[in-house]
Amino acid sequence: MMLGRGTLGTAAERFEVIFDAIGEAIFLHDDSGRIVEINDAAARMYGLAEDELDRVDIGQLSAGVPPYTQADAIALVAAARAGHPQDFEWHARRRNGELFWVRVRLSAMSIGGRTYLLAVVDDIGERKRFQEAVDANMRDLVALNTKLENAHVQLLQSEKMASIGQLAAGVAHEINNPVGYVYSNLGSLENYLRDFLAMLDAYEKAEPAMDAEARAAVQALRRELDIDYLRQDVATLLSETREGVNRVRKIVQDLKDFSHAGSGEEWRWADLHAGLESTLNIVANELKYKTTVVREYGELPQIYCLPSQINQVFMNLLVNAAHAIETRGVVTVRTGTAGREVWVEVEDTGCGIPPDHLKRIFDPFFTTKPVGKGTGLGLAVSYSIVEKHRGRIEVRSEVGKGTAFRVWLPIEAPAETGSAA
């Protein structure tokens, strides 16, 4: 508002002084982009010399600067011209080519019957840098949070394992005793039975020497009791019983392994490739009909571990891989080193694991296999063995494509685990 009072010079002079004292850059330009007026702040901000104003148009300072395009600039100008003032952030270009961030308020105004565009521009480089720093901090925080969440899940998993482990140890201990005497009594029973049968044979041989009445009574009883059938069946019953007891003993052993009840094995330096090879031999029967085994071994140093327990982990993974393959497939065994750790991976081209099962596969007794084929302890035992070694197991799986289990183990497990076999 020009009041034009007294001694302050002409309105034009006062305008000039105020215009140039304003901190924001101000451009007045026409439709074609020709600059009509700028203030000192604009010249400073954009690095414009007074004598080049004739040669520079607004497009050279702003249009088509990534990430914006010429078309973006045209759209903003058109909107402002249509009577809608625009307020936006923009990437601008100084005369020396340097790009910098600005906030622009763009509006149209009519002077002497012609329409001009007035751009009021703030340099927001500082704020942008601050914003970027805040964003970067935020990203770091989010990443940290994800890590924390993962650690928390792992902690929950190992706590769950620990309490199930205690339970398992208790159950194993309770079952162990009765199973022990059932097993050893079964051995005695077999021996006694053999003796009884030998005795029976002897009686049979002696039959012709009996008097007729006694012989008839013995033969009638033999028919009635169906002794010939019993004699056959008793052997089958005993061998089935022995098999059943063996299965229970195996489960109890698995439970004991799972619950860290030590096998008494010593920690020592071992070559994992040798362990893998002997385990592959042991499970050859499971693998040979359906699978081709491919080895992709890297260089491995010896690692400090409980070798037979580590082999048990390999065995579980290999048997699972074989079970996952229905007719024919490939089992790839890979190894490698990364820093202070080694890894062993068993990948199969089998059925894969559905996502809702993935969370549960390490739970004891989680199995999708028919009774007798799986107890669901393989991975639970493997998990606790690997944990005892301060390692970890990673799984990748795609339903219908296959699964890969990767076991990470430190080359030398921290000392405090060294004694807790």
Ligand X SMILES: Nc1ncnc2c1ncn2[C@@H]1O[C@H](COP(=O)(O)OP(=O)(O)OP(=O)(O)O)[C@@H](O)[C@H]1O
- Rounded to whole angstroms, the Cα distance separating 353 from 364 reads 17
Contact present, 395 and 403 (Cβ < 8 Å): yes
- Rounded to whole angstroms, the Cα distance separating 306 from 269 reads 8
Per-residue buried b or exposed e for 172-189, using 16+ beta carbons within 10 Å of the residue's own CB: beeebeebeeeeeebeee
Q: Does 375 contact ligand X by CB under 6 A? A: yes
What number of other Cβ atoms are within 10 A of residue 362's Cβ?
20
Q: What is the binding site for Mg ion (CB under 5 A)?
A: 320, 378
**Window 386-415: residues binding ligand X (CB under 6 A):** 403
Please, what is the minimum distance in Å from the beta carbon of residue 152 to ligand X?
23
- Rounded to whole angstroms, the Cα distance separating 176 from 187 reads 17
Binding partner of 347, given Mg ion, ligand X, none, CB within 5-8 angstroms per partner class: none
One of 100, 297, 366, 408 touching ligand X (CB under 6 A):
366
Q: Which tokens in the block code for residue 292? A: 């081709």
Q: Does 377 contact ligand X by CB under 6 A? A: yes
Between 28 and 317, CB nearer to Mg ion: 317
- Rounded to whole angstroms, the Cα distance separating 41 from 21 reads 8
Please, what is the minimum distance in Å from the beta carbon of residue 224 to ligand X?
45
Between 275 and 378, CB nearer to Mg ion: 378
Residue of minimal Cβ distance to ligand X: 378
Please, what is the minimum distance in Å from the beta carbon of residue 320 to Mg ion?
4
Backbone angles phi, psi at 77, to 5 degrees: -65, -45
One of 311, 316, 349, 384 touching ligand X (CB under 6 A):
316
Assign 47 to helix, strand or coil.
coil
One of 165, 275, 307, 350 touching ligand X (CB under 6 A):
350
Q: Does 378 contact ligand X by CB under 6 A? A: yes
- DSSP summary character for residue 300: -
Please, what is the minimum distance in Å from the beta carbon of residue 317 to Mg ion?
8
One of 351, 393, 409, 413 touching ligand X (CB under 6 A):
351
Binding partner of 384, given ligand X, Mg ion, none, CB within 5-8 angstroms per partner class: none
Q: Does 322 contact ligand X by CB under 6 A? A: no
Please give the torsion angle defined by the CA atoms of residues 220, 222, 226 and 232, in that order, rounded to the nearest 10 degrees. -160
Q: Does 348 contact ligand X by CB under 6 A? A: yes
| Cα dist from 201 to 198, 205, 222, 226, 369, whole Å | 5, 6, 13, 15, 46
Please, what is the minimum distance in Å from the beta carbon of residue 324 to ligand X?
3
Q: Which stretch binds ligand X (CB under 6 A): 219-227, 239-247, 280-288, 378-386?
A: 378-386
Please, what is the minimum distance in Å from the beta carbon of residue 239 to ligand X?
22
Q: Does 39 contact ligand X by CB under 6 A? A: no
**Window 159-198: residues binding ligand X (CB under 6 A):** none
H-helix or E-strand spanning residue 228: helix 227-258
63 exposure class (CB count in 10 Å sphere: 0-12, 13-18, 19+): buried
Q: Which stretch binds ligand X (CB under 6 A): 42-50, 85-93, 117-125, 372-380?
A: 372-380
- Rounded to whole angstroms, the Cα distance separating 185 from 241 reads 12
CA 380 to chain centroid, in Å, comes to 17
Please, what is the minimum distance in Å from the beta carbon of residue 390 to ligand X?
21
Q: Which tokens in the block code for residue 4? A: 């034009």
Site string for ligand X, 274-313 (x = CB under 6 A): ----------------------------------------
Q: Does 320 contact ligand X by CB under 6 A? A: yes
Contact present, 421 and 264 (Cβ < 8 Å): yes
Q: Does 353 contact ligand X by CB under 6 A? A: yes
Q: Which stretch binds ligand X (CB under 6 A): 21-29, 190-198, 208-216, 373-381?
A: 373-381
> Site residues (CB under 6 A) for ligand X?
316, 320-321, 324, 348, 350-351, 353, 361, 366-369, 374-380, 403
